[in-house]
A and B are shown apart, each in its own frame.
Chain A
Amino acid sequence: MSRNDFKKSVKRISFVTLFLALCFGMASSANAQSTPLDIVSDDERSLPVFDFEGLKPMLAFRNDTTYVINFWATWCAPCVKELPYFEELNRSTAENGKALRVILVSLDFPRQLQSRLLPFLKDRDITSTVVVLDDPDANSWIDQVDPSWSGAIPGTLIYRGERREFREQSFSRDELFQLVNTFME
């Protein structure tokens, strides 16, 4: 292993640690830590790949943070179009120290994670947490995200504690910010 490779793998490990810390550390009441099915990495980030059971704890953290969970894919044009608004939301949160987390749940196909998803995230300098959901039996889990979801993407779950809203739609910037703001009051 060259020195450079060693550096890279240290960086990767620290990204995974950082991710897990972000995801589960903040959720003090989340009891189970999900083990990813797989982890895909480039020199910038590592993405955990979950089945629905692994993703599930992220849809029901019980704390005072507002979670914005966006189901998307790089091949979905309306998803890509609204992505900058989610990014803006995430960045504004980081600046203002708001109790809000954006989690982008990618439904990209496993064979395209390395070739397409990671380069996409790098090109666009995505700072939100990204996880991959790989669970083909969608009929078994779509209703668990929200019964009103038909399965079309983009779809977005926003929740804080017991209050949950799901939208099967593309957001304009204003629509997204207005809806999220109703959770922040």
Chain B
Amino acid sequence: MQRSFFVFALIFIFSAVLATAGGYNIGDKATDFRLMNVDGESVSLSDYTDAKGFVIIFTCNHCPYSVLYEDRKNALDAKFKPMGFPVIAINPNDPELEPRDSFEEMQKRAKEKRFTFPYLFDEGQTIYPQYGATRTPHVFVLERVGTEHIVRYIGAIDNNHKDGDAATERYVEDAVHALLAGNKPPVATTKAIGCTIKTKKK
């Protein structure tokens, strides 16, 4: 009897670990964070008292796919910050493995490209695994419900990395518009090619 309880407990713990290992699913509560921005100030979701939600983008300097979307990130922020959905970018990479993604290089890039949004460094790589980001760029649209942040969309910004004007689907824009109208995003998850997140952890 004791033994079977032990086995059950093991299975329970194991499946709980498995369930969290894959990161968030649609409808999950996303963790808040406090990470350093390129301007030297730390940023947390809780700082944004008036926000209705967030467009969280795991991105970096070195990945060509991230670079292709830089102007589109500024455009998303310009469009949706006034509506209550600001963009927050987070660099999840270990700069020891990719020196072009160091904090200093992030500061340079943010200045060159005049990022209008915070560009945060995931120091110690504690945040991206909780979200389940696997590549850059990787977007999570969160909706604020009371004091919680619910994951409503996970995936790509649009369906054409080469040319935003040629995109026929603008997933993030559609998701935020739907949330602003009190609806669920029409497409909740998408995939895109991107760069692996550079980490020494397995």
Q: Is B159 a contact of A139 with CB atoms below 8 Å? A: yes
Closest to A143 in B: B191
Q: Which residues from chain A contact B95 at a C-beta distance below 8 Å? A: none
Binds B, one of A7-15, A96-104, A150-158: A150-158
Binds A, one of B5-13, B27-35, B108-116, B193-201: B193-201
Task: With a 10 A CB-CB cut-off, give which of B135, B193, B195, B197 has the most chain A CB atoms.
Answer: B193
Q: Is B191 a contact of A149 with CB atoms below 8 Å? A: yes
Kindly identify which residue among B166, B191, B197 contacts A151, using a CB–CB cutoff of 8 Å.
B191
- Residues of A in contact (CB 8 Å), total 23
A152 to nearest B CB, angstroms? 4
Q: Is the interface of B mostly helix, strand, loop or mixed?
A: loop
1/0 per residue, CB under 8 A from B, across A56-77: the answer is: 0000000000000000010111
Q: A75-B64, A150-B134, A152-B134 are in contact. Are A136 and B160 (CB under 8 A)?
A: yes
| A139 CA to B192 CA, complexed, in Å | 6
Q: A143-B191, A152-B134 are in contact. Are A138 and B161 (CB under 8 A)?
A: yes
Q: A76-B195, A138-B191, A143-B191 are in contact. Are A151 and B135 (CB under 8 A)?
A: yes
Closest to B135 in A: A152
Q: Which residues from chain A contact B192 at a C-beta distance below 8 Å? A: 138-139, 142, 151
| A152 CA to B63 CA, complexed, in Å | 11
- Count A-B contacts at CB 8 Å: 61
Q: Report if B162 contacts A (CB, 8 A).
A: yes
Q: Which residues from chain A contact B98 at a C-beta distance below 8 Å? A: 77
Q: Which residues from chain B contact A170 at a C-beta distance below 8 Å? A: 196
Q: Report if A137 contacts B (CB, 8 A).
A: yes
1/0 per residue, CB under 8 A from B, across A114-150: the answer is: 0000000000000000000000111110110000011
Q: A77-B98, A150-B134, A153-B196 are in contact. Are A142 and B191 (CB under 8 A)?
A: yes
Task: With a 10 A CB-CB cut-off, give which of A76, A77, A137, A170 has the most chain B CB atoms.
Answer: A137
Q: Report if B156 contacts A (CB, 8 A).
A: yes
A22 to nearest B CB, angstroms? 26
| A140 CA to B159 CA, complexed, in Å | 9
B31 to nearest A CB, angstroms? 20
Q: Which residues from chain B contact A151 at a C-beta distance below 8 Å? A: 134-135, 191-194
Q: Report if A168 contacts B (CB, 8 A).
A: yes
Q: Is A152 a contact of B194 with CB atoms below 8 Å? A: yes
B85 to nearest A CB, angstroms? 21
| A78 CA to B196 CA, complexed, in Å | 8
B57 to nearest A CB, angstroms? 15
26 CB contacts below 8 A, A to B, read A73-B64, A77-B98, A107-B193, A136-B162, A136-B163, A137-B159, A137-B160, A138-B191, A139-B156, A139-B159, A139-B190, A139-B191, A140-B159, A142-B191, A150-B134, A150-B191, A151-B134, A151-B135, A151-B191, A151-B193, A152-B135, A152-B193, A152-B196, A168-B134, A168-B196, A170-B196
Give residues in B with beta carbon < 8 Å to A: 64, 98, 134-135, 155-156, 159-163, 166, 168-169, 190-197
